[in-house]
Amino acid sequence: MQSLEEILASNPMGFRTHTKDGRMRREVMRRYLEHVQKNEIPTSGRFIFYELEHDGVVKKGELTASGKQKRVDAPVINALTWLRDEEYIPWDHIVDETRDVIEAFHYPTVREHMASVLERATVSIWHPEPAPFVICESRSIRGAISRTCSEFQVPLAAVNGNCKGFIKTKLRAEVESSSIQQVLYLGDWDYAGKYIQANTKTYLEEALGYGLEWERVALTQGQVEDRHLPSIIKKDGREAWECETLGQGLIVELLTEHLEKLMPVERRNGVASRAVKERMVLMQMLDVVLGGEHANQ
C-alpha cells in the first residue's frame, strides 16, 4: 500500500490544493488510509463523512440562503467516486448499506449444493440459551457491526428510524422464533434517537406480549462527555449527537466488549473446533451417499 504522500505525488492535478475537489480528495484519501491501517475495511462513505466533520472539513446542518439544509455529503461522495474510478480505492472497500442484491441460490448438482451448505454450517455457541439480539438505529451502523455479529452468531437488525410495521412483523417473528430475551441497542443520543429507541422497545414488546432486557451499547451521555463528541443542530434548533461520530473502530470495540462478557472466547473456540469435526464427518457421509454414479444427478 502506497503512503498518502506517494499517492498525492502520483497525480498532482487530481489532488491539486487550489480546488475544492482536489482538497476534498486529499482528505477522503487520508481518512480511507487510516481505515486500512486500523483494519476497518470495508467502511462506508457515511463514516468517512462523520470523521471529516469531526476534523472540521465538512459541517452538517448548514443552511442555504433559502433556509434549507445543504447536502453537505455530496463532495465526500464525489471524492470517493473519483478515487475509486481512478483505482486509488477498490470499489468493494466502500459499502452502500442502502442497496441490496437478493441472490438466487442454485447449483448444477444436489451434491454441490449440500457441500456448499456444509462448508458454512456452524454449531450454536449460545445453545441452549438464546443469543442476544442487536438492534441499531441506522443502516450504516448495521454495516459496521455486521461482521462482529456474524462472528458472535447474534441476529442483527436496523430499524432505520422510527417504524412500526417492520417491528411488529419481521423483527417480532425473528425475536419470537429464537426466544430472544435480551437486546443490545445502538443509536443516536438526542430527543429523536431516544424516541426511536423507546418506540422500538414498546412496539416490539407489545407484539411479543412480554418484556425484554434492554441495554444501550452506544451512544450514551457518558460517551458524549468522555470523548467530547461534536454535536449538530437540527432544523428545530435541538442539539444532537449521532452514533457514527464515535467512529467505526470504537463502535465495533464497544459491541465486542459487551458480547465477550456474555460469550467468552474460550467457549467460542471450543464450539468452533467441534463444528469443524462434525463438518468433516458429514462431508464423508455425503460422499458415500451422493458420490460415484449419483454425483452428477
Q: Render pLDDT for 192-235 as a digit per residue (tens, 0 to 9).
A: 999 999 999 999 999 999 999 999 999 999 999 998 888 888 77
Give the model's pLDDT for residue 205: 97
| Residues in CB range of 136: below 8 A, 6 or more apart | 142, 145, 156, 157, 158, 159, 185, 186, 187, 243
Which of the 8 DSSP states describes residue 18?
T
**Residue bearing the bigger pLDDT, 201 or 102:** 201
Distance CA(228)–CA(166), nearest Å, equals: 34
Mean pLDDT for the stretch of residues 62-90: 84
With both helix axes pointing from N to C terminus, report the angle between 45-55 and 139-151 in degrees, rounded to the nearest 10: 110
- Helix 45-55 × helix 20-37 angle, to 10°: 110
Q: What is residue 105's predicted lDDT score, i.e. its pLDDT?
A: 82
What are the cell numbers at 113? 449444493
For residue 297, pLDDT beyond 50:
no
d(CA 105, CA 111): 14
What's the pLDDT band for 148 if we cut at 50, 70, 90? very high
274/290 Cα distance (integer angstroms): 24
* Band of residue 141 on the pLDDT scale cut at 50, 70, 90: very high
Assigned CATH topology for domain 126-262: Dna Topoisomerase Vi A Subunit; Chain: A, domain 2 (3.40.1360)
User: What confidence score (pLDDT) does residue 109 get?
Assistant: 87
Return mean pLDDT, the chain. 91
What sign has the CA pseudo-torsion 146, 168, 198, 175?
negative
Element (H, E) at 216: strand 213-218
Q: Which of 249, 22, 18 is nearest to 7 (CA)?
A: 22
Would you tell me how many other CB atoms lie within 10 Å of the CB of residue 243? Answer: 23
Q: What is the mean pLDDT of residues 112-117?
A: 87
pLDDT at 110: 83
Given pLDDT bands bounded at 50, 70 and 90, which one contains residue 294? very low
Grid coordinates given for 215: 441495554
